[in-house]
Amino acid sequence: MEPSDFSKFEPDPEAIHQELVGYLVQSQQALQRIDAEAVARFTHRVIRTWHEDRQLLVFGNGGSAATATHLAEDLATYAIPFSEPKRLRVLCLNDSPSIITALGNDLDFDSIFLEQVQQWARPGDLVLTMSGSGNSSNLIAAMRRAEQLGCETAAMTGFDGGELRGLVDHPLHVEVHQMQPAQDAQMVMTHMIIHGFRVAIRNYLAQRTSGSSGS
């Protein structure tokens, strides 16, 4: 078959369906392995970061970078009512191609997040990275620097967790040995954090308005 003669290629709808059902099962199995208690503990730290007016830094590579962007965007926008002047100071370090390419070109790829952590992080800030394998050297370098600076650290990981799992204060690990289901689990954990943060902050603001202690 010539490469341009696509009309002779007839995909088997049933084979595609079975493949997708198989993937859905793998994804559902990954979601069942999420440690909700660990995610809740980390969400509590995000709430404290807002309360103490500290900063949350997030970052990752590839698909994890997209998830980090999503987390930062939701926490920076609809998670807190726009009528509330106190916002969560959240920054996604993989969102500036200019900064990343400058650091990668002038230094090396392992420096693209490390140098940004050095620039932005302060003692007591919260730093979260996301990785499928947990072994990306640029993420490890950045988290080591965050630890040296006195930050609280966290990592979402799949597979066996790699080096990041044992390096951080809050390991958000899901034992799954395929990249896409691992990233599915990371996105769901991201939405869990956003939801937990949003509900807690809005409840606090409602109690503050009504003068109730909530007890």
Q: Is the pLDDT of residue 132 over 50?
A: yes
Percent with pLDDT over 70 in the chain: 95
SS3 assignment, position 35: coil
Rounded Cα gap, residues 77 and 9, in angstroms: 46
Question: What band does 215 get if pLDDT is binned at 50, 70 and 90?
Answer: very low
Strands of the sheet containing 89-92, edge to edge, are 89-92, 55-60, 126-131, 152-157, 170-173
Instruction: Give 129-193 as a 3 state SS string.
Output: EEECCCCCHHHHHHHHHHHHCCCEEEEEECCCCHHHHHHCCEEEECCCCCHHHHHHHHHHHHHHH
Query: Could you tell me the pTM of the whole model?
Result: 0.92
Q: pLDDT (tens digit, 9 = 90+) per residue, 138-194?
A: 999 999 999 999 999 999 999 999 999 999 999 999 999 999 999 999 999 999 999
With beta carbons less than 8 A apart as the criterion, state whether 55 and 121 touch.
Answer: yes
Report the pLDDT value the prediction gives residue 2, as an integer from 0 to 100: 59
Spell out the domain ranges in the chain. 64-203
Percent with pLDDT over 90 in the chain: 90
> Which position has the higher pLDDT, 63 or 215?
63
CATH superfamily to which 64-203 belongs: Glucose-6-phosphate isomerase like protein; domain 1 (3.40.50.10490)
